[in-house]
Amino acid sequence: MIKDRILYEDNDILVCHKPAGIATQTARIGQADMVSEAANYLASAEEGCTRPYVGVVHRLDQPVEGILVFAKNGRAAADLGRQLSDGRMEKYYYAVVCGHRLAPDGELTDYLAKDGRTNMSRVVPPETQNAKKAVLEYRIVSKRPCKEDGALQTALVRIRLHTGRHHQIRVQMSHAGMGLLGDYRYADAEVREVSEAMRVKEIALCAYKLAFRHPASGRRMQFAIRPEGRAFSLEDWQDLAENGLHNEP
C-alpha cells in the first residue's frame, strides 16, 4: 500500500501520504500502521535487509489524513527531530469546521491537559498541573451557510500548527466554537447533527502540507497533497487553494 503513496524518497528520508484510518504506529497485533508498512517496503527494496531503520519524526492521529516524513538513519532522525522541536518544520492543515459568526482568521493560544484514562485533551487554566501551551493560526478559505437563516456556517479553514499537542486542532477549534465536521468526540451536538446530515463520518482534517530542511543537504523541501475525505469533496470546496499544492523535493 505505502509504495503507491510515497511522495519522495532518498538515502535519508521517506515522505509519504498517510490515509485516514491507519495509525502512524501501533503495538496492536494484526493492525496495520505506517511504520510497519514503511519497514516492509524498505526491506523488500533492499536485498538482505531484514530490519531497516524507520525513524518516527512526528505522528498523525489514526483518523487524520496527511503527510508524514520518516528518517532512514539516525543522523536524519536527529536533525529532523531538532527541526520539529524548534519550529523550523512547518505543518499546515485543512479542516472543515462548523459554527456561528466565524471570524475570518486568528491565532488560538490555549493550555491543554491530556486525560490518559479517556485519551482526550481539554483546555485548562495555565497553572493546571501538566498543562501544555498550544498555539495555532487559522484562516478561512471559504464558507457557506448550512441553515436557511445563515446563522450556522460551515467553512474550509487553513491551519498553521505551531505546537504538536495531543488532539490539538480538534480541541482548540472546538473550544473556539468551530468544531470539525465528523469529530464525534470533541464537537458539540449541533456540529454532530450537521455532520450526520452531510453524511460526513470521518474527521474533516488533513495535514496537507509539510516543509522542512533536508537533514543532509540543508535544502528546503516542501510537499503537499489534496485532501481525499468526503468533507473536502463537496462542490463548494472544489476551489481548494492551489497555493502550496505542489511538491518541491
For each of the chain's 249 residues, which pLDDT tens digit applies?
788 899 999 999 999 999 999 999 876 776 788 999 999 899 887 765 668 999 999 999 999 999 999 999 999 999 999 999 999 999 999 999 999 988 999 999 999 999 999 999 999 999 999 999 999 999 999 888 876 666 799 999 999 999 999 999 999 999 999 999 999 999 999 999 999 988 998 999 999 999 999 999 999 999 999 898 888 876 555 555 444 455 655
Residue 147 is predicted with a pLDDT of 67
Instruction: Look at domain 2-237 and name its CATH class.
Output: alpha beta
Residue 192 is predicted with a pLDDT of 94
Exposed, middle or buried: residue 121 (CB in 10 Å: 0-12, 13-18, 19+)?
buried
d(C-alpha 68, C-alpha 9), whole Å:
12
**CA proximity to 96, closest of 21, 152, 180, 195:** 180
Residue 179 is predicted with a pLDDT of 96
Task: List the grid coordinates of 175.
Answer: 473550544
d(C-alpha 114, C-alpha 62), whole Å:
17
Residue 37 is predicted with a pLDDT of 92
Residue 243 is predicted with a pLDDT of 47
| Residues paired with residue 113 on neighbouring β-strands, in sequence order | 122
Query: Domain spans of the chain?
Result: 2-237
Handedness of CA 210, 163, 102, 96 (dihedral sign): positive
d(C-alpha 64, C-alpha 13), whole Å:
21
Under a CB-based contact definition with an 8 Å cutoff, are residues 70 and 14 in contact? yes
In the chain, what are the helix, strand and coil shares in percent, each to the nearest 5? 20, 35, 45
